[in-house]
Amino acid sequence: MPKKHKNKAPASDARAADSAVQKNVSLKDVAAAVKLSPTTVSVVLNYSPLADSIPQETKDRIIEAARNLNYRPNYIARSLRNQRTHTIGVLIPEMSEGYSAAVLSGVEEKLLQEGYFYFVASHHHRPDLIERNTQFLVARCVEGILAIDTPIHQQSFLPIVSISGHDHVKGVTNIVLNHEAAAQLAIAHLHALGHRKVAIIKGQDFSSDTEVRSNTILEAARQSGVEIRDNWITQLIGDDPSPETGYLATRRLLSNETDFTAVLAFNDISAIGAIRALRESGLSVPDDVSVIGFDDITAAEFHNPALTTIRQPLKKMGSLGAEYLLLNIHKNPADTLSVEITVEPDLIVRQSTSAVTK
């Protein structure tokens, strides 16, 4: 008898009957239950000002029915309508490292607080994967992108915040360490212990911190009268995120003249590899050679010897990154936001450094 099968009352009745497997209760179902229109129900459940004229009694009826039916608004439908997904995309080199995990924990904490979720995609330092993953994330309608230790070259119509990124792209907010202060802390510590001849392990070229870190260290060394001879400089090779790369770099270092008294590693992971190499060649850490790391990952404190290191506030950098990304997302496109946020390093003195004796 109905011209077009628009309502399917019998079907929904049937579904209401079975109790255990309740699923997709829609706004329409709630509306049908209280014999009002979906409009009214929507307006009431969203506390819209449009509901001002609806008497409290009716509101209560609607709210109770929604609760009884266990109504959960469909996020997808709502996203489509509102053009908001409350989701952001996170680009990282890889999931396995202490570094990414620490930053991510800060990101997650902040985002969940604000009702956001995030997609993670890792690219293993491959430019093609960075590009592809970015497109995937955009296709998924993320509202912004957080790039962790990941180079960003192009500007985008989406807000982007980069953590430990060093490209200065218009519109991209950077969260960076105060590298000068970090280098100063490391060199000053070694200098105070009497070290004047220091070797350094540079990061891989693909790591965004590599260049600043070695430049600031060389500069700080020059100013303090600490010598870093050219063949005391070695570099991590390959994208293995384990201490292996630091171990190999240090072996290369040791095959040259070895009259340095300290090694300043690119990060804690490579410092741990360096310690292994030094011990293997019969040198004691810290008695013969001091080693200083970077980051202060969880493993650093309990390594043997416990690692002296320059701490980066990784978790905080994550939450700051998330915070600024959300600000960028919500801000009026007209007004601009601070483009570089600097966080401060700390010197954490443990057992891998000691005074020069010889």
Partner DNA sequence: GGATTTTACTAAATCGTATTACTAAATCGT
Partner DNA sequence: ACGATTTAGTAATACGATTTAGTAAAATCC
Q: Footprint of a second copy on this chain (CB under 8 A)?
A: 21-23, 72-77, 79-80, 85, 94-98, 100-102, 104-105, 108, 112, 117-122, 136, 138-141, 157, 241-244, 247, 272-273, 275-276, 279, 298-299, 301-305
* Under 8 Å between Cβ of 276 and 292: no
Q: Are 195 and 356 in contact (CB under 8 A)?
A: yes
Instruction: Based on DSSP, count helices (H) and strands (E) in the chain, helices before strands.
Output: 13, 12
Q: Residue 114 or residue 346: which is nearer to DNA going by CB?
A: 114
DSSP secondary structure of 265-314: -SSHHHHHHHHHHHHHTT--TTTT-EEEEEE--HHHHHSSSPPEEEE--H
* Helix, strand, or coil (residue 172): strand
Q: How far is the C-alpha of 163 from the C-alpha of 149, rounded, in Å?
A: 6
DSSP codes joined into one string, 95-133: SSSHHHHHHHHHHHHHHHHTT-EEEEEE-TT-HHHHHHH
Taking the least distance from each CB to a second copy, the nearer of 79 and 258 is: 79
Question: Contact, 274 vs 234, CB < 8 A?
Answer: no
* Residue with Cβ nearer a second copy (117 or 330): 117
Q: How far is the CB of 252 from a second copy (least distance, A)?
A: 17
Alpha carbons 93 and 239: distance in angstroms, whole number: 10
Residue whose CB is less far from DNA, 87 or 214: 87
- Out of 12, 38, 129, 166, the only residue in the binding site for DNA (CB under 7 A) is 38
- Selected from 43, 201, 271, 285, the binder of DNA by CB under 7 A is 43
Name which of DNA, a second copy, none residue 43 binds, using a CB cut-off of 5 to 8 Å depending on partner kind: DNA
Instruction: Pick between residue 73 and residue 305 the one whose CB is nearest to DNA.
Output: 73
Would you call 73 helix, strand, or coil by DSSP?
Answer: coil
Query: Among 12, 16, 45, 299, which residue interacts with DNA (rule: CB under 7 A)?
Result: 45
Q: Which of 2, 10, 17, 24 binds DNA (CB under 7 A)?
A: 24
Residue number with CB closer to DNA (74 or 105): 74
> Which parts of 69-98 interact with DNA (CB under 7 A)?
71-74, 77-78, 80-83
Work out which of 13, 14, 22, 39 binds DNA, going by CB under 7 A: 39
CB of 212 to a second copy, least distance (A): 26
| 3-state SS class at 161 | strand
Candidate residues 12, 15, 16, 26; the one interacting with DNA per rule CB under 7 A: 26
**What is the residue-wise DSSP string for 226-270?**
-B--GGGEEE--SS--STHHHHHHHHHHHTS----SEEE-SSHHH
Please report, as ranges, the residues that interact with DNA according to CB under 7 A: 4-6, 24, 26-28, 35-40, 42-43, 45-46, 48, 50, 52-55, 58, 71-74, 77-78, 80-83
